[in-house]
Chains A and B, each alone.
Chain A
Amino acid sequence: MEFFIQILIAAVAMGTPLLFATLGGVISERAGVINLGMEGLMLVGALVAFVVMLNTGNYFYAVAAAAFASGIVSMIHGIVCLMLRASQIASGLALTFFGTGLSGLFGDKLMGETVEPLSRIPIPGLHTIPVLGPVLFNQDVIVYFSYICVALSWWLLFKTRIGLNIRSIGEAPEVCDSLGLSVLSYRFFAVVGGGMLIGIGGAYFPLALTPFWVDGITAGRGWIAVALVIFAFWDPLKALGGAYLFGLALALELRLQILGIDMSPYFLKMLPYVLTILVLTLVTIRNNRRGIQVMPAALGKVFFRGEKH
């Protein structure tokens, strides 16, 4: 039982950066903008969080600075693909290379520095619940903050006027435009806001998981998050489940070995991606039968104001 709980604790820890990045991706893509720059944004967030933590010793400043910095960097994505109308795919990829290079350049001087990792704070009353208590309610503050972010982004997207507008713009920007909504400003804010969440996901690495700086500290998690956004069907609540499921896959790969279960590492490594393709296929088939479209209809499409169709 102890062993089982340890697996789940590790799954939540591994899933938390994925969760933030996925939420960021969901918000951006709901407004119709693909962000393939997640890996780069996470690295920028990780670097800035580490530097600020090193200099101030304050976790709050570190997280805020990470969000701010990756928000600024995602503005580049916004300007390039919204205002200059370049390809979102190309701009996103460029953002990844940019973030990777930038963090490597400035991280060069940080080798050997370490910070104190976040400690776990049990939530009174809740942490004694069997299984769920130690797994969900004996974590660090960033994990608790991720729960709030899930709830907030779900509420924002599905329960508010702003969310309705964001989703509508992701479906039919021309219609929204004719109704007087500013497509570009909504999209810009979705990209920047999403980028800030992605940066917090990156910040989780040096603040909690690996409290030092090494180049490429996120080791490709940004790409898993790109898949997770699709896996979660652009829904913050499903993102929660998806991120923990993928975190579980990462944690299981190691624990299955302890149990002496010989499972191919290649199989476990491809699991997140296979699951994404599988779920996408199944749900698409089901939805096609019912005539529902889940993917934002205008996702990735360049919006030209006043263009006739």
Chain B
Amino acid sequence: MRKLISIIISTTLTMLLVGGSAWAAKPSVGFIYVGPVGDGGWTHAHDLGRKALEEAGHKTYFVESVPEGSSEGPILKMARKADIVFTTSFGFMDPTLKVSKKFPDKTFLHCSGFKQSKNMGNYFGRMYQAKYLAAIIAGGMSKKGRIGIVGSQPIPEIIRHINAITLGAQQSNPNIEVEVLWINSWFDPAKESDAAQALIDNGADVIVTMADSPATVQTSKKNGVYAIGNDTDMAIYGKEAHLTAAVWNWDVYYLEAVKSVENGTWKAGSHWWGLDSGIVGLTSFHPDVPQSLIVQMNREKGRILSGTMDVFDHGFTKQDGTRVTKPLNDGEMLGMMYYVKGIISKVPSG
């Protein structure tokens, strides 16, 4: 009798367990953000992706404003409750790697880095393609032939974007001058605004920002010049100035990545999605932008989408005058620490 009971109990328990896992809720997803979700830029764009996951039925968590220098604790805590952890800043790479080894049954995905482990992969989008296209508009809209770029942190990713902008602007204005000011921070609205003002005072009439807040768009509006938004649509902060924005659509990737983990098809690797996936793109254009310029931009866009061209594959001249003729591979793009010709500032030595 006792045996029978124990059999019944153990069968029930097994069924519950098996059934439980089969009916288990979709994997929960955690996000580690470097800025506040309300930054109106980089982190905000990731958070829109998180909301898409939430809508798809996933339980999601996030921690915002995590300093890059002390992110291990927050990542560790997140790994305890979420099945999949996305860490969304370059500086989170090493802590993510460390934590990933402690939680072999969880999946870790790090944005913009390169280090991997069995259960940690990287992901990013080819934002430089969208920046290149936006800059075709910027170059064509600059009357004085001078674009001012508010740089955030001088790392290869941002330098790559600045180069792509310069090459793009040269498509519509071969003599364009590009000046760069680094605020040495990802997010500092007052300083971003001051940098834009300094660039405008120095002759720029289109401002492109690499930083996370819409401050530069607002400052451009105040000065009656144009601006290109960064990461999210910033038109609401100054539609008079906002030509377009190169934006992230992270939901495209997040939904796909989480689904592959759910199906068990996920493998560690590096995903660097391009314009064709929809992960990056442009927002609607300012009414002042002439149709001819949009046509020119669309022609380049078509070439990138069809794979006949990429930004750094058809030869360009470095700032020091050396000519690069071979197409750059991903590794070379990820380590880019030099400016192309047309930029009048110097790469900071740090």
A, B assembled together:
yes
Q: Are B189 and A217 in contact (CB under 8 A)?
A: yes
Q: How large is the interface on A (under 10, 10 to 19, 20 to 34, 35 or more residues)?
A: 35 or more
Binds B, one of A67-75, A85-93, A105-113, A176-184: A105-113
Q: Are A254 and B238 in contact (CB under 8 A)?
A: no
B38 in contact with A215 (CB, 8 Å): yes
- Are B201 and A254 in contact, with the CB atoms below 8 A? no
- Contact indicator B194/A211 (Cβ below 8 Å): no
In-complex Cβ contact of A257 among B40, B181, B201, B214 (8 A): B181
Closest to A209 in B: B190
Let me know if B189 and A117 touch, CB within 8 A. no
From 151 to 184 in chain A, residues with beta carbon under 8 angstroms from any chain B beta carbon are: none
Q: Is the CB of A112 within 8 A of B236?
A: yes
Q: For the complex, is A140 an interface residue (Cβ under 8 Å from B)?
A: no
Select the residue from B181, B189, B202 with max chain A CB neighbours within 10 A.
Answer: B189
Q: Do A264 and B350 have beta carbons less than 8 Å apart?
A: yes
Judge whether A6 is part of the interface by a CB distance below 8 angstroms.
Answer: yes
- Asked if B260 CB lies within 8 Å of chain A CBs, one says no
Instruction: Contact check, A265 vs B40: say whether CB atoms are below 8 A apart.
Output: no
| A260 near B346: Cβ-Cβ < 8 Å | yes
Q: Which of B62-121 contact A (CB under 8 A)?
A: 64-65
Q: Are B194 and A108 in contact (CB under 8 A)?
A: no
- Which residues of chain B from 210 to 242 have any CB-CB distance to chain A below 8 Å in the complex? 213-215, 218, 222, 236-238
Q: How many A-B residue pairs have CB under 8 A?
A: 119
- Interface residue from A111, A218, A254 paired with B195 (Cβ < 8 Å): A254
* Residue contact A216 to B194, C-beta cutoff 8 Å: no
Closest residue of chain A to B345, judged by CB?
A: A257
What's the minimum C-beta distance from B337 to chain A, rounded to whole angstroms?
Answer: 14
Whether the pair A219, B346 counts as a contact (CB closer than 8 A) is: no
CB <8 Å contact, A269 and B184:
yes
**Bound CA–CA A112/B180 (angstroms):** 26
On chain B, the number of residues with a Cβ less than 8 Å from chain A's Cβ atoms is 43
Quick check: A209 and B189 within 8 Å, CB to CB? yes
Q: What residues of chain B lie closer than 8 Å to A258, measured between beta carbons?
A: 179, 181, 198, 202
- State the CA gap A218–B185 with chains docked (Å): 13
Q: A211-B218, A212-B237 given as contacts; is B202 within 8 A of A254 (CB)?
A: no
CB of A14 within 8 Å of the partner chain: yes
Contact B213 A266 (CB under 8 A): no
B31 at the binding interface (Cβ < 8 Å): no
Q: Cβ of B345 and Cβ of A216 under 8 Å apart?
A: no
Complexed CA–CA distance, A3 and B197 (Å): 12
Asked if A262 and B187 make an inter-chain contact with CB atoms under 8 angstroms apart, the answer reads no
Are A117 and B38 closer than 8 Å at their CB atoms? no
Against B, the Cβ 8 Å flags (1 = close, 0 = not) of A22-62 are 00000000000000000000000000000000000000000
B188: interface (CB < 8 Å): yes
Q: Mark A251-282, 1 if CB is under 8 A from B, else 0.
A: 10111011010101110110000000000000
The answer to whether A104 touches B36 (Cβ under 8 A) is yes
Compute how far the CA of A117 lies from the CA of B189 in the bound complex, rounded to whole angstroms: 14
Residues of A within 8 A of B198 (CB): 6, 10, 254-255, 258
Across the interface, B189 reaches (CB within 8 A) one of A3, A205, A257, A265, namely: A205
Q: How far is the CB of B231 from chain A (nearest CB, A)?
A: 13
Q: Is A192 an interface residue (CB 8 A)?
A: no
A265 to B182, CA, bound (A): 9
Q: Which residue of chain A is the closest to B238 with respect to CB atoms? A: A114
A132 to B202, alpha carbons, bound, how many Å? Answer: 22
Q: Are A219 and B218 in contact (CB under 8 A)?
A: no
On whether the beta carbons of B346 and A262 are closer than 8 Å, the reply is yes
Listed by A's residue number, 19 A-B pairs whose Cβ atoms lie within 8 Å are A10-B198, A17-B190, A104-B38, A112-B40, A112-B236, A112-B237, A114-B237, A209-B190, A210-B189, A210-B193, A214-B214, A215-B36, A217-B189, A218-B190, A253-B183, A254-B181, A257-B348, A265-B154, A265-B184
Beyond A210-B189, A214-B213, A262-B346, 7 additional contacts (C-beta under 8 Å) are A210-B190, A212-B40, A212-B237, A217-B190, A250-B194, A253-B184, A258-B181
Question: Chain B residues in contact with chain A, CB under 8 A?
Answer: 35-40, 44, 64-65, 154, 179-185, 187-195, 197-198, 201-202, 213-215, 218, 222, 236-238, 345-346, 348-350
Chain A residues with CB under 8 Å of chain B are 3, 6, 10, 13-14, 17, 100, 104, 107-108, 111-112, 114, 117, 205, 209-221, 250-251, 253-255, 257-258, 260, 262, 264-266, 268-269
5 pairs of A and B residues whose beta carbons are closest in the complex: A215-B36, A215-B38, A112-B236, A265-B184, A210-B189
